[in-house]
Amino acid sequence: MDSLDLQVLSQARAWRAAGHGVWLVTVLETWGSAPRPPGALLAMRDDGQVVGSVSGGCVEDDLIDRVRHGERVGKPSLVTYGITKEEAARFGLPCGGTLRLVQEPLTDTRWVDEVLARTVRHELVARRLDLDSGAVTVEPARRGEAFAFDGRQLRALFGPRWRMLIVGAGQLSRALAQMARMLDFEVICCDPREEYHLTWDVPGTTFSKTMPDDLVLELQLDPHCAVVAVTHDPKLDDMVLLEALKSPAFYVGALGSRGNTARRRERLAMFDLSEAEIARLHGPIGLDLGGRTPAEIAVSILAEVIAVRHGVALAQKKPGSTHPPATAPSAGPRSAKVPRP
């Protein structure tokens, strides 16, 4: 599934091709409590239809009303909501929040074509908009970069900023891959077993029959990567863990009971892994949400991945789980847990 921003661009391009006037609205800055972060994108066409979001809804309503009453900007223009406490309340901005937007006409869609084509190839790109001239350029971006606005130019990122390697291609992996795609992960599934390769059918993901430990080395994992081993086959799971735990990946987890996880740690200690590296293993994987179905377990795994990514303490764990205090992604991951399906 495409990210929301890419859906916005795709729909905006389609509206423009059909002859509609189209405007893009981007969140530039927020102060206080605001519903959507900088970089959030909305497309609006001349009859008031919208896709995407820049707030909880009231700001969108005002933007639509402006367009329907003929306020149609011809160049990038700044709009600010919530300057006063009363206005913040009117537009649904909690706690006196303020929202600063740029509204621009979409006249040339060639840059949209380029962004959509390059992100399909799993490239991470940045769109740079000059507010004075309205000129747009597309350039390569790197993981770890963020939306930026210096008062004259904005630079917004598109494409997979996070990557997830799933080892194993069973039912759980399918649910996990679909949900991870919705969270803007580039998803790679690895399973050298032929019978699993033939049944993998998750759109928008990459499948590899390479041995998982070799693939980890090939991918050159960075601090924006997560590795999830869910084959139930120690030969495959342990192999990928031996390499992944030595990498900068922010999250490394493996499915299994507490007993299996303890035995796995003992096996890992027989190889060239330090105690600190083994302690990075999240196992059993996921937060304790009480679920048992593949989809529910996938939710628990992704909940833990998101918590680790944001440096949130892993409080929702079963007794006996190993889960050191969470740290920021740049400092590296820690450990965790999930019920066995």
User: What percentage of the chain reaches a pLDDT higher than 90?
Assistant: 55
Residue 338 lies in a domain: no
Among 6, 338, 4, 10, residue whose Cα is nearest residue 175? 338
**Where is the domain boundary, 98, 126, 158?**
158
Considering its fold, how many domains does the chain have in total? 2
pTM above 0.75?
A: no
Query: How does DSSP assign 60-72, residue by residue?
Result: HHHHHHHHHTT--
Looking at the domain assignment, is residue 143 inside a domain? yes
200 and 61 in a common domain: no
For residue 337, is it within any domain? Answer: no
Whether residue 248 is contained in a domain is answered as: yes
222 and 234 part of one domain: yes
**CA-based angle 159:161:167, to the nearest 5?**
105
Peptide bond before residue 105 is cis, with ω within 30 degrees of 0: no
Instruction: Please check whether residue 341 lies inside any domain of the structure.
Output: no
Lowest-confidence segment of 33-37, 67-71, 212-216 by average pLDDT:
33-37
Domain that holds residue 246: 162-331
- Is the pLDDT assigned to residue 318 strictly greater than 70? no
Same domain, residue pair 59 and 193? no
Q: Which of 158, 180, 196 is the last residue of a domain?
A: 158
Which of residues 116, 131, 158 is at a domain's end? 158
Looking up residue 322, the CATH number of its domain turns out to be 3.40.50.720
Query: Would you state the structure tokens that stand for residue 107, as one six-digit string?
Result: 């006249």
Residue 81 located in a structural domain: yes
pLDDT tens digits along 253-304: 999 889 999 999 999 999 989 999 999 999 989 998 888 899 999 999 999 9
Q: What is residue 173's predicted lDDT score, i.e. its pLDDT? A: 95
44 and 64 in contact (C-beta within 8 Å)?
yes
Among 170, 135, 129, which Cα is nearest to 153's? 129
Do 142 and 209 have their domain in common? no
Q: Which of 186, 184, 234 is closest to 212 using CA atoms? A: 234
